[in-house]
Structure 1
Amino acid sequence: MRIDIITVLPQLLDSPFAHSILLRAQKKGLAEIVVHNLRDYSTHKHKSVDDYPYGGGSGMVMMIEPFVNCIEKLKTERDYDEVIFMTPDGAVFNQQIANQLSNQQNLIILCGHYKGIDQRIRDNYVTREISIGDYVLSGGELPAAVLVDAIVRLLPGVLSDETSALSDSFQGDLLDAPVYTRPAEFQGMKVPDILLSGNTPEIEKWRYEQSLERTRTRRPDLLE
């Protein structure tokens, strides 16, 4: 998979992709993550990427030209499955969307700033708009990092145990069951006996019941 991220602040994305699972995925050649500085595609003398909104009002709006210049250049190099805009008014991101996107080959992610981006970009270039929650951040970089992490970890070969991702919370619309590790007893706190029994069918049954109960208690909306 190749993911191209267009941003006015590329430095914000240096750390998220340089450690742990995302770094491993890149070193294995399973994912290529390329960050593009939007200012490199501005034709203005001072590399401006924003201007005042037509009709007046507060804030600045990111201009159409730099985004289009970058998107069209990338599209001459390969075909893209999705052009994604990270925006608070997009569809709220969830595990099902992550699963869908992990099956794609090439993605472009646009990071907004200021008051937003020129609507013509959204109307003519963006194929999917995604939000990571009902709140507003300073820009789309952190949401883009969240999106990339959720997608890339699902790619075959990225996790050392590929079945781990299949049992995560929200896979199958359930929260994950409680997990434990050694020691079996610590300061009087014990691991449930069933997990020490070695009885795999009964353990799986217990985990399912625990998962169902946790979902019913914490996220009953998922069961609906």
Structure 2
Amino acid sequence: MMKIDVLSIFPEMFPGVLGHSILKKAAEKQAVSYNVVNFRDYADNRHQTVDDYPYGGGAGMVLKPQPIFDAVTDLVDKAESKKPRVILMCPQGESHTQKKAEELAREEHLIFICGHYEGYDERIREHIITDEISIGDYVLTGGELGAMVVIDSVVRLLPGVLGSEESHIQDSFSTGLLEHPHYTRPADFRGMKVPDILLSGNHKLIDEWRTKESLRRTYSRRPDLLDAAELSPEQRKWLEDIKKQQ
């Protein structure tokens, strides 16, 4: 079972996300356990202050090292695994990807640190962090929303969490391409019809159609992904045909 600890000064933000849908079911199936900790509880001063003015001046406040160091140390000491991945949610971090989610899903213990204010004391980065992750090139008021996004992307990949193991394998980005279009009943909705091939029962042709549509959508919306995609000779031929049609 994966263990996920989250350090935040706003722990009340998490129950609504962790207590619903797939994340809730994952905990019920004992695929994962969640523990959200207010690292203000580890502050060694009477007023439980976790931030201070930056040396050298400047706008904003900076998170102090002591509460976060002590919180991480305590969580590691209490855990069975002594080598957790300690993840700092930070706009300076590497952009989160499906590949990163798959990598983290193989771990036994993840600790997420959610910051606020202007930033972190640099010694936190230098001495206790294993990963810095950003969910995009923009700045949020804190790391909580980013941590929720990463947790969701990781937990859904754990064994037994999704109803079908093929679900996440066929997700957009898992194959290096965007996912093909989906349709469900009715076959004719207000004159808008499902492609005939999907009603044919010919699974070989259906798979071929889905692959071509995945290539078409990727080329149209995210052509940058094609540079790293591992395509078969047949898929490359289909892609060339798609390019000629544009």
Superposition RMSD in Å? 0.7
Counterpart-to-counterpart distance in 1, 2:70 and 2:107: 23
Please give the secondary structure, in 1, of the residue aligned with 2:36.
strand
Q: Does 1:58 align with 2:59?
A: yes
Aligned length: 224
2:156 to 153, 156, 164: 153
Q: Does 1:172 align with 2:175?
A: yes
1:185 maps to amino acid: D
Tell me how far 1:186 sits from its aligned partner: 0.7
Q: Does 1:115 align with 2:88?
A: no
Counterpart-to-counterpart distance in 2, 1:220 and 1:191: 26
Structure 1 unmatched runs, 5+: none
Q: Which has the larger radius of gyration?
A: 2
2:101 to 79, 98, 118: 98
2:144 to 131, 141, 146: 141
2:104 maps to amino acid: L
Counterpart-to-counterpart distance in 2, 1:94 and 1:119: 25
1:110 maps to amino acid: I
Counterpart-to-counterpart distance in 2, 1:31 and 1:196: 39
Could you tell me the TM-score, scaled by structure 2's length? 0.90
Please give the secondary structure, in 2, of the residue aligned with 1:173.
coil
Please give the secondary structure, in 2, of the residue aligned with 1:161.
coil
2:132 to 111, 129, 132: 129
Tell me how far 1:27 sits from its aligned partner: 0.8
Please give the secondary structure, in 2, of the residue aligned with 1:172.
coil
2:207 maps to amino acid: E
Tell me how far 1:18 sits from its aligned partner: 0.7
| Higher relative contact order, structure no. (Cα contacts within 8 Å, ≥ 6 residues apart) | 1
Tell me how far 1:211 sits from its aligned partner: 0.2
Q: Which residue of 1 aligns with 2:45?
A: 44
Q: Deviations over 1:11-40 (max 9, x none)?
A: 111211010000000011101111000111
Q: Which residue of 2 aligns with 1:204?
A: 207
* Superposed structure 1 runs of 4+ greater than 2 Å apart: none
**Aligned residues of 1:80 and 1:108 also touching (Cα < 8 A):** no
Counterpart-to-counterpart distance in 1, 2:83 and 2:221: 38
Could you tell me the TM-score, scaled by structure 1's length? 0.99
**Aligned residues of 2:76 and 2:84 also touching (Cα < 8 A):** no
Tell me how far 1:158 sits from its aligned partner: 0.3
Q: Which residue of 2 aligns with 1:19?
A: 20
Structure 2 unmatched runs, 5+: 228-246
Counterpart-to-counterpart distance in 1, 2:199 and 2:23: 33
Counterpart-to-counterpart distance in 2, 1:80 and 1:148: 18
**Aligned residues of 1:3 and 1:33 also touching (Cα < 8 A):** yes
Please give the secondary structure, in 2, of the residue aligned with 1:43.
coil
Please give the secondary structure, in 1, of the residue aligned with 2:217.
helix
State the identity %.
Answer: 50
Q: Deviations over 1:122-148 (max 9, x none)?
A: 000001100000000000000000000
Counterpart-to-counterpart distance in 2, 1:114 and 1:185: 53
Counterpart-to-counterpart distance in 2, 1:28 and 1:164: 18
